[in-house]
Amino acid sequence: MQRQRYQMKKALYQRTSYRRPGPYGRRILLLVLVAALAALAANLWAAPDEHYEALRLASEAFYEISHKHVTPKSEAEMIEGALRGMMNSLDPDSSYLTPAEYRELQKGNLRPAADAGMELVFKDNFLTVVSVQDGGPAFRAGIRPGDHIIKINGQLIRNLTTQEGIRRFQGNPGTKIKVMVLRNGLIKPLDLEVTLAPPRPPRVTRQMLADNLLYVRVAGFTNDTPAELATVLKEAQHRRPPVTGVILDLRNNARGSLEQAVRTASLFVGAKKIVSTKGRKLVTEQHFYGKERDKLFKSNLPLVVLVDQGTARAAEIVAAALKSHARATLLGTKTFGLCGITRVLPLKDGSALIMTVAHCYTPQGKKITGNGLTPDVEGKEAKPAALRPVGAPWPPPEKDPWVKQAIDLIKKGARGAWLGEPRRFWQDDGTAAKS
């Protein structure tokens, strides 16, 4: 390893046009680290000539910036900026953590005193809202999934990692944050103000609709979600008259882990494959299955799952599994496609990288990460989101156009899963009805 480091340093001195004496030694060593990481990210190790050309180019840029930029920057600032830029170029879930940020992560200080109640990623050079918590601070302020945040408290947003963007919306209860957002369909940006509030864990809610249809809303996934949903399904066993269909609402839901998704999907599909993950190497491929003893959805009952651009992470895994094995119909718009497996990789100086190391795939082997899920039936918008009043609440289920559309699908026989007389969820004796 020492010999390889010596050869790299020797080649760098031979190939760069900026060979400096002693005072620049530390700068060159720092540059080697940054350029080596950049070369690795660009997969240049297999081509030595291109690799050393990348080192030479980085050395030249480093020298010009440090000597000619109007505002002097320290080596540490430039190194940190380069690392943030590299991580931002990978994917929305990858981020760089400073030593202080990584120490906080290790302490487990992940829950702030207050936040804005929204999921954010840095995508396509914008800090993008993936989802907003139902009734949370961001929702009340008028922020919606798909919005691009361009200013925070008057400061233009540039070169933020996802983690840093999230921290900008954390603080003490009552803290007011002014934001400027771009929204598809609007010409002018919106100026909004978010008041931070203590985080509220999302809960599973339910409502009986006309014709004995069960509407279930899962606004986000936590460790309690599988048990809460199991309670809802068990209560449906004893309902009279029996439930004739289920509408599972996974819209605007981007919070949750793979393990939570597997436990939740297991309630519907039992021991079948729920999701696969694949990294760069074949040996990293993994398959995740549910448990047959967890299965509660045991009949041919029609099932419609509502999804939209705010459906991501665990919700995408559940939606894909239910479509594959529970004969569910996906209704709405294309999902976000944010379903990667991340790992924290510590660096020697105490900082760390949060990096996507594997992508998620449906039980049929279709990639979710970056692609999302395409619904079976496109949702009909009564009014485009851009034309709705800022801060207007979501309509109740019985007035929601997509819920109405789901009801019509069930009555007509969604995907051929149900036609004619309504099937019972369970027999009168409590056993599962036969398909």
Q: What is the DSSP string of 13-52?
A: HHH-S----GGGHHHHHHHHHHHHHHHHHTT-TT-HHHHH
Give yes or no for a contact between 410 and 245, defined as CB atoms under 8 angstroms apart.
yes
Percent of the chain with pLDDT over 70: 79
Give pLDDT tens digits for 247-268: 999 999 999 999 999 999 999 9
**Residue 16 confidence (pLDDT):** 40
Other CB atoms within 10 Å distance of the CB of residue 344: 13
Domain ranges of the chain: 2-73, 111-195, 204-416
Nearest-angstrom CA–CA distance, 158 and 155: 9
Give the homologous superfamily in CATH for domain 111-195.
PDZ domain (2.30.42.10)
In 91-210, which ranges are continuous DSSP H helix?
99-107, 137-141, 162-167
Which span out of 98-112, 149-163, 194-208 was modeled with the highest average pLDDT? 194-208
Model confidence at 283, pLDDT cuts 50, 70, 90, reads: confident
Cis, bond preceding 346 (omega within 30 deg of 0) = no
One-letter amino acid for residue 363 of the chain: P
Q: In whole angstroms, how large is the CA radius of gyration of the chain?
A: 25
Residue 135 contacts residue 116 (beta carbons within 8 Å): no
The highest-confidence range among 85-89, 159-163, 223-227, by mean pLDDT, is 223-227
* 204-416: CATH, from 3.90.226.10, 3.30.70.3270, 3.40.50.1100, 3.90.950.10: 3.90.226.10
pTM: 0.81
Q: Is residue 336 a contact partner of residue 372, using CB atoms and an 8 Å limit?
A: yes
- Are 410 and 228 within 8 A, CB to CB? no
Strand locations in 233-390, DSSP E? 245-249, 273-278, 286-289, 303-307, 329-332, 341-346, 352-361, 377-378
Report how far residue 314's alpha carbon sits from residue 204's, in angstroms, rounded to the nearest whole number: 15
Alpha helices, DSSP H only, in 42-157? 48-68, 75-88, 99-107, 137-141
Mean pLDDT of 347-372: 94
Alpha helices in 270-367 (DSSP H): 314-325
Q: Stretch 56-73: mean pLDDT, rounded?
A: 85
CB atoms within 10 A of CB 15: 14
Contacts of 198 (CB under 8 A, 6+ apart): 113, 114, 173
